[in-house]
Amino acid sequence: MVFGLKIKNIIFILVGAAIFAFGLVHFNMQNNLAEGGFTGITLLLYFLFGIDPSYTNLALNIPLFFIGWKLLGRHTFFYTMIGTVAVSLFLWIFQRYTIHMPLKHDMTLAALFAGVFIGVGLGIIFRYGGTTGGVDIIARLVYKYKGISMGKTMFTFDVVVITLSLLYLSYREAMYTLVAVFIAARVIDFMQEGGYAAKGAMIISEKSEEIANKILTEMDRGVTVLKGRGSYTKRDRDVLYCVVAKNELPRLKSVIISVDPHAFVAVTDVHDVLGEGFTLDERKQPIEH
């Protein structure tokens, strides 16, 4: 720990910054693709005026960090500062030691690579305590003082930046930019949620107690008993709720059917699962992933 910051988090934020910067230089900049957020502004200034993104990234973000540091919290503030400086450093390095891989003959591939590298890089930064920087802070400030949701502010900002990018983008490059931005968003979601994604099952049965016991003994998974009431029958009954890993779902269904083939089961996606069996072991200690 350094000033309350985890060394592991700092290392992964640096790795994420390197991946993000590599993708930006080798796929966005080499193939004339734009981006959303403050990154999009740095690319806009680069393509229109030739200003180095490694400098504009710092110039745009750092003043906002000091404006919004109370909103971020101490740890997030320092992690974000580390990430931002690291992104600028790696942008500077990769622009001077570039691997030439122009893909303008295959813009679909360029957009895929851009989306994946940016998504993985930002996903790692987010997962280990950093933030998106300037736009994230602006969105928090707007929400605090104007009551407008962060999602709306960030979406509006991205739309404005990508629209302004049409000053140097062709319609073809603009469409591939949207593809890259969409892929990056999906990859970020996967990086954030994929490690702990699971399935949640709501189970309604006349044999709820027997099903709960069998899940506990055969699968070593916890079951929560909720009190429910049938709208039509007006009868009170127990509703079971159980969360399992994705690969355990077939086994859960088999356990339920073996007890009550007529049980009603509703399965939903569960994201960001915390607790015993997922992020904690049976001794309540963190599980390393």
Q: How does residue 150 score in pLDDT terms, banded at 50, 70 and 90? A: low
Residue 288 predicted with pLDDT over 70: no
**% residues pLDDT > 90 (the chain):** 37
pLDDT of 131-145, one tens digit each? 766 777 777 777 777
Q: What is the pLDDT of residue 109?
A: 93
Report residue 283's pLDDT band, with 50, 70 and 90 as the boundaries: low
Q: What is the pLDDT of residues 42-86, one digit of tens each?
A: 999 999 999 999 999 989 888 877 776 776 677 778 888 888 899
In the chain, domain spans: 5-191, 196-267
147: left (phi over 0), alpha (psi -120 to 50) or beta: left
Q: Is the predicted pLDDT of residue 194 greater than 80, yes or no?
A: no
**Distance between CA atoms of residues 58 and 85, nearest Å:** 7
Confidence bin at 151 (pLDDT 50/70/90): low
Most confident segment among 94-103, 104-113, 280-289: 104-113
pLDDT at residue 155 in the model: 75
> Would you say 84 and 68 are in contact if contact means Cβ atoms under 8 Å apart?
no
Q: Is the pLDDT of residue 231 over 90?
A: no
pLDDT for residue 220: 85
Q: How confident is the model at residue 257 (pLDDT cuts 50, 70, 90)?
A: very high
- Which amino acid is residue 20, in one-letter code? F
Contacts of 263 (CB under 8 A, 6+ apart): 203, 204, 205, 207, 211, 256, 257
**What's the confidence (pLDDT) of residue 269?**
84
The residues pairing with 5 across neighbouring beta strands, listed in sequence order, are: 2
Q: In what order do the strands lie in the sheet with 236-245?
A: 224-229, 236-245, 198-204, 264-270
Which pTM was predicted? 0.73
Q: In the 8-state DSSP scheme, what is residue 225?
A: E
E strands along the chain, which residues?
198-204, 224-229, 236-245, 264-270
User: Whose CA is closest to 252, among 207, 220, 206?
Assistant: 220
> What is the architecture, at CATH level 2, of domain 196-267?
2-Layer Sandwich (3.30)
